[in-house]
Amino acid sequence: MTLIPSLLGFTLLAAVVTVTPGLDTVLVLRQALRSGRRSAFAAAAGICLGALVWGVAAAAGVAALFVASQVAYAALRWAGVAFLLYLAWSYLRAAFRGGGAHTDLVSGSLDAPGEAFVKGLLTDLLNPKMAVFYLTVLPLFLPAGYPPVLVGALLAGVHACVAFAWFTVIIVSAHAVRGFLTSRRGARVIDGSAGVAMLGFGLVLGLER
């Protein structure tokens, strides 16, 4: 496989993986509906950076350590579970307390762009499935005769660009209905739904064998 077919094939796969609803989509959508476009784009940037880090780590062989070592994989998995449970707790607490569009940041309902970026980054970095995905898929698209780390970074960059484009569609679409959903009742529905989704993702990751 040469470089161009490799890029085209991986771009198609990245598009399919990106548009499949999952943890990243829930996080960005919640930020777009509750915290606004700046925080949503910041969360999307953090997620894309995390994907880029995992892509380079997989190409360099670092990600293999988390899959080969049961202790390292378990540590990463439980760190991810703890982070997801923290997000679930904070969102469900915000839903229970209620609050509209102008809820104070201290309440946990709204995230500043910097906080949203960190949450997006940790969502990907603490997800062991990202390590497994890149470690399993990336070698299939590494053409012979090219530095693996550079090509891995390029492919991960493609994934990040595709993901950011998709998140942009989500953010713009969410902004169109944000006025209605930032009422007190709508805000509680958003936070409650996001909290339940994060709790579900955390339980699935925790019970995974």
Question: Which tens digit of pLDDT belongs to each residue from 75-132?
Answer: 888 888 898 888 888 888 877 776 544 443 333 457 899 999 999 999 999 888 888 8
pTM: 0.80
Give me the amino acid identity at 142. Answer: L
* Interatomic CA distance for residues 95 and 104, integer angstroms: 13
User: Where does residue 12 fall: left (phi above 0), alpha (psi -120 to 50 degrees), or beta otherwise?
Assistant: alpha
* Interatomic CA distance for residues 102 and 110, integer angstroms: 8
